[in-house]
Structure 1
Amino acid sequence: MHGPNLVSWLLAVLTAASGGYCLSRLRHAPCAPAEGTARPAGTGWRLRAHESDLAEGLMGCGMAAMTVAGSAVPGEVWAWVYGPPAVFLLLAAARRPARRAHRLHHAVGALAMTYMALVMAAAPGHVGHHATADSPALTGALLVYFGGCALWSGSRLLSGPGGTVPVPSAGLPRACRLSVVIGMFAMLLTM
């Protein structure tokens, strides 16, 4: 990631904390429904919540690692780290219509990380704002997507049942997801 060191470190701390929180939720009851609402039948909601926490946790921790050690690790390694999960999420979205949009969102995130890794691999010693191997159209489309996701996630965080969201139950996971989306936007912006 190109840009000021302070921004890189702040982004790394933010995404690592968000990713760590999402991964820590795997040990506890994830995404429990809000009080007063019925729990969905079966254990499917727990599996979906675990899948979501795992994907967001790995993305947040991976973004932190890529931000700090991006140029020290070859871009091809990062592409192999993010490429297979992207393919898995795309196949899972194609096979099962339940949670398709959520899986596609995570697939776009993994594909964006793969794209950034391949751009880094094509210009390893490049210092500046744009590498020669990137596609301005693809970068712009990803910026629009993640910018829109950040606005949508932020609006969901601010408006909940009764106008407020209690932080321990629903607000903190949403805030972590928002910080990962903002981190992705920042990484694309400084590429």
Structure 2
Amino acid sequence: MHGPASPGWLLVALCAATGAYCLLRMRSSVEEQRRAAGGEALMGFGMAAMAVPAAAFTPPAWAWPAYAVVFGAAALRALWSSRALWSPSALWSPRALWSSRASAHHLHHLIGATAMVYMAVVMAASPAAHHHAHGASGVPLVTGALLLYFVAYVLLTGTRLVPAGPVPAGTGPAGGSAPGGSPGWGDRPELARACRLSMGMAMVAMLLGL
């Protein structure tokens, strides 16, 4: 975050483009798709703002607490949306627990929003954060755990991008379809996964900058 200019602007461009595509995905006719796309758009634009090089813009002192509040609210919303994972029936049935793909995706949103809160708190607590991120230092255990999660997420999502034949309309987490019966370009599951892969890689880069 707020590191060298060239990599920083590349990260900004990647996150902003991902956020913009997620805004377009919010036009889906599938409610679950719209909810997921809204959370991912917020994450993409938030990460883009965090990655702006300090040489171009130094955020004011109130910016980091504002980030923490916004993404803290997003984390609470994701926690509520993933409540099916914590139901008594799910706890007694591991198969039922992992079969809820939508709730598992909300859990990923929860971890992502929590990571954003963590980075904002680290930057706010570091005196050097108002100039550049090289003076910021997070809790190694927390940073390492988040890094392990997002590296694993990137690897897993990357393997899922390998073509495995056509996906029937209305299936999968992205699940929408165009009027003709085939998935609309905003509902294609491989494009949604590519967006999540991009944000996962960006999160790894930002955590490495702490």
Same fold (TM over 0.5): yes
The 2-side partners of 1:124 and 1:12 are apart by 23
| C-alpha displacement of 1:62 | 1.1
The two structures, once aligned, show a CA RMSD in angstroms of 2.3
Taking CA–CA contacts closer than 8 Å with sequence separation of 6 or more, which of the two structures ends up with the larger relative contact order? 1
Instruction: Give yes or no for the alignment of 1:106 onto 2:93.
Output: no
Where structure 1 has 5 or more consecutive residues not aligned to the other structure, the ranges are 30-45
Give 1:154's aligned amino acid: G
> Which TM-score applies when normalising by structure 2?
0.74
Separation in structure 2 between the aligned mates of residue 69 and residue 49 of structure 1, nearest angstrom: 32
**Offset at residue 2 of structure 1 (A):** 4.2
Q: Quick one: distance in 1 between partners of 2:6 and 2:53?
A: 14
Task: Give the TM-score of the pair, scaled to structure 1.
Answer: 0.80
Q: How many residues align?
A: 171
Report which of the two structures shows the higher radius of gyration computed on alpha carbons.
2
Cα shift readout 1:52-100 (whole Å, capped 9, x = no counterpart): 1111111111110121178414311110111111011112212577422
1:10 Cα deviation from its structure 2 partner: 0.3
1:56 to 40, 64, 70: 40
In 2, Cα distance between the equivalents of 1:147 and 1:130? 24
Deviation, 1:125, is 2.1
- Map 1:95-134 to 2 at 5 A: 95=84, 98=100, 99-126=102-129, 127=132, 129=134, 131-132=136-137, 134=138
What amino acid sits opposite 2:13 in the alignment? V
SS of equivalent residue, structure 1 residue 68? coil
Q: How many Å apart are 1:173 and its aligned residue?
A: 2.1
Say which of 145, 153, 158 aligns to 2:157.
Answer: 153
Unaligned segments of structure 2, at least 5 residues: 88-99, 167-182
**Offset at residue 128 of structure 1 (A):** 5.7
Q: Which residue of 1 aligns with 2:75?
A: 86
Contact between 2:123 and 2:133, CA under 8 Å: does it hold in 1? no
